[in-house]
Structure 1
Amino acid sequence: MARSTVDVDTARPTGSPPGGRGRAGLGVGSDGTSSPLGLVLKIAALALLAAVAVWGAVPLVRTQNWIGLAVLVAVTLLGFYVYLSPRTIPLKYLLPGTLFLIAFQILPIVYTVATAFTNFSDGHRGSKEEAIAAIEGASVQQVPGSPVYDLTIAADGDPSTGDLVFLLADPTTDQVFAGTSDGLAPLSAADVQRSDAGRITAAEGYTVLDVAQISDRQDDLTAFTVPTDDGAIRNQGLSSAFDGAPQRAYDAGCDCITDAASGRTWTADDGNGAFVADDGQTLAQGWRVGVGLRNFGAIFTNDVIRSSFLRIVVWNFAFAFLTVLITFGLGLLVALALNNPMLKGKTFYRSLIILPYAMPAVAMYLVWRNMFNTDFGLINRILGTHVNWLGNTASSMVAILLVQLWLGYNYMFLVITGALQSIPKDLTEAAGVDGAKPFYAFRTITFPLLLVALAPLLISSFAFNFNNFNAIYLVTQGGPFSPDNPSAGGTDLLITYTYRLAFGGAGADYGFAAAISVVIFLIVGVISVLAFRRTRALEEVN
């Protein structure tokens, strides 16, 4: 009689891997770590996550941004849960990409849209309380008998970005102070170094600024004051400061700013975020408020903007479409020529063709701009002409399209070459056997298959060139400009026109720029959706 035996592998429970120890048989622990090295890497990654969370929490606590702090804590706890739990395998791969998508795509879009409905601009950046403090601080003047300090200008941390600090020495009492935006704080004599004249030359925890660094931060210095019980301390040059009193003060009863010398008042206009006098004069410093659709309405109601908007939109579409068309057309012709199996030296020719693609685009735009110079440009010298390429609208458009052709066709050549080599040769060979001529086979077989493969690329190229700021700004700066409308150039795109309107004047108007950005986003988004739908139809046909 045969002896009964039990085979280990056949007795293994269903679904268990070889080795009879489940996940442990593969050297995988219950925490999902595949090896001791993996465990070390996981610990290091979580430690880095914790360090970044602590680093980000400090400024949030200091500014009392409790919503941001709650989001940071929630994301950190989610990360620890996902990577410490053995049951969240898909999230281990999805979480990093999702967080980056939210941080670098969704949040900027949401912030831009929100900004489009505000008056956020120079002079309207902060809250009403900050505007009042700035107005009062800017009006501080020295009064008889107020103390004068020996001043040293410093920064709390980095000289270019740290908060300004006044290191003050009182020559009458020999006391030293640190003046910040929060007020005046005494310093210990042991923590400072002073010159023979009594000025502070160094202080523990602060970085003394030199003349060049102070010059770089002149705007910050002009707006900076140290609040005191009776007024504020302002600098008087770079070596002294005085304790003065504001000449303009806020009165909560009338919700207005009153000038002590003239008695003039500016009443708060909460709809526009500004203090306005009876004659319509507005104080430069205001605050950020919601303005509804006003920024969008300005696109169609402002006479200066409306007169040029339609023309710029038409050229914008033409520029994006023609750039894609000519670069794709030339790239296709070159790719077909170099894809001929009978051609010798294809590698050498391909290397020459992609050379412009390897050059920095910004540098090439500037080089081409000089090449189009009327008097000294290389193009006029070679052709023996004296064409003012960038002096009139038509020739400027041609010049920009030529630059785009030179910079873009080589990229199209690369992708078309790859797509051509992926098309089975059996299809064209079978068409030839059936008597189809080469051009007919290309038109009915090769070209439709190329469009299926390259349609997403062409759509994305159109979207990119629709907002190609560098091409316009570095070559023509949007010009040429007509005398009757110097704000709108003959080659302006919406993006360059927006830049000039929002940032080219006396101050930056971020709210209006955001509104134009939203309009551009909607235009490109609608065109992309329609194009991708057409692409799917093309795929079904083929």
Structure 2
Amino acid sequence: MNKSIYVALKWVLIVVALVFVFWLAAQLAMQGAWLAVTLTAFVGLCILLIYSTKRAVPMKYLFPGILALLGLQIWPMLLTISIAFTNYGNGHLGTQEEARNQIVANSVQEVPGSPRYKASVAVKSGQPKATGPLKLLLTSPEGKTYVGDPKEGLSELPEGDVTKSTIGKITAAKGYDVLNAREINARGKDLGELAVPTDDGGGIKMVGLSEAFVGKATVTYDAAKDTLYSEVTKKTYAPKNAFYTATDGSGDTFSQGWRENVGLANFKTIFTDPTFRSGFFKIFVWNVVFALGTVLLTFILGMLIALLFNHPRLKGKGIYRSLLILPYAIPAFVTALLWKGMFNQDYGLINQTLHLGTDWLGNPWAAKAAVLITNLWLGFPYMFLVCTGALQSIPGDVQEAARIDGANAMQTLRKITMPLLLVAVGPLLIASYGFNFNNFSLIYLLTEGGPFTGGNATIGDTDLLITLAYRLAFSGANPSYGLASAVSIVIFALVAIMSLPGFRATKALEEIN
């Protein structure tokens, strides 16, 4: 390639990268994420310094890998660790100030005789309508237009920047995307919690899809005492355990809480709470049995088939090998759903073919067997492939020498073939154990962690630790990201500890080679 063309192409790519960095920094700035803006700007500066010079050649190749390591590995790990020491979860997402403002805003009730605004719901242009912060585009009875923000209150909207319907409702506004009825209904919960504060301590809330009323808050905040008072319940509420709780001892609280550090409380729950501890131990034992059993079963079956198909006298080996790879080629989620259908108690192929009445997915032990059988089907082709490759790499003269020395087939397999085979596949067995220890997709698609017995809907009989963490974080009445993060850290520690003996055994096997 001509040198000038190469230089021009290099600078074009640098400019494209810097434009993308600038655009990303602008989007982050709109969200108020100034730390992320700073980091993004630093990355852009690094790109310019590294790739605009002929120096630092090794860094030109290392920099993308370092970025990927920091963004995809280090940052998620640090974030998980930080969340594990908090109460972050449903009802505890924001700060205390945000929770307090939300409580006051939600208490707004319409003031009799107050004017109503024509209202539209919108988000800022460029933000997703499904998740972006909601704004109210308002038209007063006098015809003035405003934009209402739950944090900043009312701001005037120039008449030239809006388009109104015949009734005065804003249908379009510069810098905003107006939501339609279907999109508003999809965000009904967010809209119900939205209130635009006014100067007199009241607020503006939506009623229906086209109007908003001026209301007055029935909950007031005393900044000096950091308490809330409700005119409806006639009670005073003070901060306690990340909630505003009634001071009369009744235990009455507002539903909105806030995020705060809880120290080792999540880890204490894992190891000291009687219900959680017993369930956690049960899941851990099954998790080890599932991962170890899967590795052993798939390895033994894959190795035996590989030994059979490695025999020089066998004809048509290519066709057989192609057929055996099919389970590995089909996506795992499709296979899991197919097996789930076959394990159906009433209409499943297995019960109908074998004339059984087994409740494969409803009985705890049958469900465990179903999971292992399905994973055996999914996993043995992989072990067959790696064992076939390892067997074909073993020198034939080694086995021939063993036969000359009088070793029979079993002795050759046990003393020669197996040690050399394990040298090659040992690290892969450890990796397979680690993968199956966190095999979320199979459990979730086949049994969803069930069956759930004993009235406990949190801990199932086929749950792995990873599915338990998922259920804690995203399911149930009160999802807890903090507790789920603590479980994830425990999983990481357990896998690391259990992998050490395997790596030591692999190192010992390498001495055989």
Q: Normalising by structure 1, report the TM-score.
A: 0.89
Matched to 1:450, the amino acid is L
Q: Does 1:273 align with 2:224?
A: no
Query: Which stretch has the larger CA shift, 335-344 or 289-298?
Result: 335-344
* Number of residue pairs the alignment of both structures matches: 507
Q: Does 1:103 align with 2:71?
A: yes
Equivalent residue for 1:495, pick from 456, 460, 466? 466
Unaligned runs of 5+ in 2: none
Equivalent residue for 1:196, pick from 166, 176, 184? 166
Distance in 1 (CA, whole Å) between partners of 2:54 and 2:104 is 59
Q: Secondary structure at 2:262's aligned position in 1?
A: coil
Q: Secondary structure at 1:390's aligned position in 2?
A: coil
1:378 corresponds in structure 2 to 349
State the superposition RMSD in angstroms. 1.9
Residues 151-196 of structure 1: CA deviation (Å, up to 9, x unaligned): 22223233223332222222x3022222233322223333333332
1:10 corresponds in structure 2 to none
Shift of 1:63: 4.7
1:121 corresponds in structure 2 to 89
Q: Does 1:44 align with 2:15?
A: no
Structure 1 residues 376 and 151 mapped into 2: Cα distance closer, same or farther (>3 Å)? Answer: same
Q: Is the 8 A contact 2:283 2:463 kept in 1?
A: yes
Q: Does 1:393 align with 2:361?
A: no
1:429 corresponds in structure 2 to 400
1:359 corresponds in structure 2 to 330
Distance in 2 (CA, whole Å) between partners of 1:433 and 1:144 is 104
Distance in 1 (CA, whole Å) between partners of 2:406 and 2:64 is 55
Q: Is the 8 A contact 2:363 2:451 kept in 1?
A: yes
Distance in 2 (CA, whole Å) between partners of 1:530 and 1:37 is 54
Shift of 1:64: 4.6
1:178 corresponds in structure 2 to 147
Q: Secondary structure at 2:134's aligned position in 1?
A: strand
Shift of 1:117: 0.3
What are the equivalent positions in structure 2 for 1:428-467 lying under 5 Å apart?
428-467=399-438
Distance in 1 (CA, whole Å) between partners of 2:359 and 2:415 is 44
Shift of 1:332: 0.8
Q: Is the 8 A contact 2:197 2:203 kept in 1?
A: yes
Structure 1 residues 465 and 199 mapped into 2: Cα distance closer, same or farther (>3 Å)? Answer: same
1:18 corresponds in structure 2 to none
Equivalent residue for 2:381, pick from 410, 432, 435? 410
Equivalent residue for 1:84, pick from 41, 49, 52? 52
Q: Normalising by structure 2, report the TM-score.
A: 0.94
Q: Does 1:214 align with 2:168?
A: no
1:151 corresponds in structure 2 to 119
Distance in 1 (CA, whole Å) between partners of 2:271 and 2:309 is 50
What are the equivalent positions in structure 2 for 1:517-532 lying under 5 Å apart?
517-532=488-503
Distance in 2 (CA, whole Å) between partners of 1:73 and 1:200 is 38
Equivalent residue for 1:164, pick from 106, 131, 134? 134
1:336 corresponds in structure 2 to 307
Query: Which stretch has the larger CA shift, 277-286 or 407-416?
Result: 277-286
Computing the radius of gyration from Cα coordinates, the structure with the larger value is 1
Residues 355-380 of structure 1: CA deviation (Å, up to 9, x unaligned): 11111211211111111111100111
Query: Which stretch has the larger CA shift, 528-537 or 120-129?
Result: 528-537
Distance in 2 (CA, whole Å) between partners of 1:411 and 1:334 is 12
Equivalent residue for 1:289, pick from 260, 264, 268? 260
Distance in 1 (CA, whole Å) between partners of 2:504 and 2:15 is 45
Structure 1 residues 391 and 210 mapped into 2: Cα distance closer, same or farther (>3 Å)? Answer: same
Structure 1 residues 65 and 187 mapped into 2: Cα distance closer, same or farther (>3 Å)? Answer: closer
Matched to 2:148, the amino acid is G
Distance in 2 (CA, whole Å) between partners of 1:466 and 1:444 is 30
Q: Secondary structure at 2:90's aligned position in 1?
A: coil
